[in-house]
Structure 1
Amino acid sequence: MTDNEYRKMYDMNPRNAQTALFDEYLSYVYAIVYNKLRSCGSREDIEECVGDVFSSVFISYDSNGSFNGDLRGLIGTIAKRTAIQMYRKLVRHSGTVNIENDEVEIADTECIEENAERSIMKNTLLRLINSLGQPDSDIIIQKYYYNMNSKEIADKLSMHPTSVRMRCSRALKKLKKLLAEEGYDMKEGNI
């Protein structure tokens, strides 16, 4: 149902328009709410939340009436936000959190350590790149993070492509030295 269809129905008979909207989107809203609350809410909680979603939809539509296109996005957003609020309320009152969700996996220790080391390395690298100063840091970031070539970087920084290549080469040597001082052994070409 589009906004225009609903608006015409609403102008003719608000109650019938709300009933039609409810009938069309009930299973959609129920699916969203069920997926958010299945681990902590009872059936009554889920049904209450679905009712709250439609109440919010009707109130927000009546008060502002400036939607365009399909109402599915609006209703989906309201359903997700309302379900999240209900989830927080239920978890807060129960004092426990269920992790019986199929999508939740407990990571093994090695993966966590690897990710932590990689994150520390990235932060160190960015800090050292920024310490190179302008325009060297911009050149390195644009070349290796945004995969821009020397001509593109030169156009962006109002430089000559040859100058960009020369500054990049010098900046990489400085960066390699700084990384060595930090205890990292970087091989040529690996940033």
Structure 2
Amino acid sequence: MNLKKYETDINQYATEITKYLISRGSNYEDAQDTVQDTLVKMISLDIFIPPDKLRAWMYRVAIRKYINTYNRNKHYQTLIQQLSTEVMTSEFLLETSPLLTFLEQLPPYQKQLLTAYYYKNYSTKQLADMFDISLSKVKIDLYRARKKLKKILEKEGYDQWSL
């Protein structure tokens, strides 16, 4: 077995598969990434693929990798679209909510905290990272902000059911 010939065949097939993927709608960078992933898989398997089966094996692996990547990207695009719709909806709810006028009466930090937690669905961990404070401080500050908002609402004549 001639190792130089085997290496030449791999390079030739890699170029051929790249062109094939591009002809099927892939962009150049994605096609190259797919072929590179195929070569990495071949090396990581630590097996010898006979020269007469090498081309078919590389095609099969590359096409499967490309399809998986395409489906994953399509799924991510769907998720991003759903998330952006949810964010727009939550921002719309905030803008049209009668609570907005009462939130404006809070100090800026408390307003940001309540808005991020309830309308933008940030977790307490994300809020702690955002404001560079401890998790327990976030929880305490949320409690105090809610308490202060409740007092403002009661002062304006709202009870827990009338808003």
Q: TM-score, normalised by structure 1?
A: 0.33
Q: TM-score, normalised by structure 2?
A: 0.38
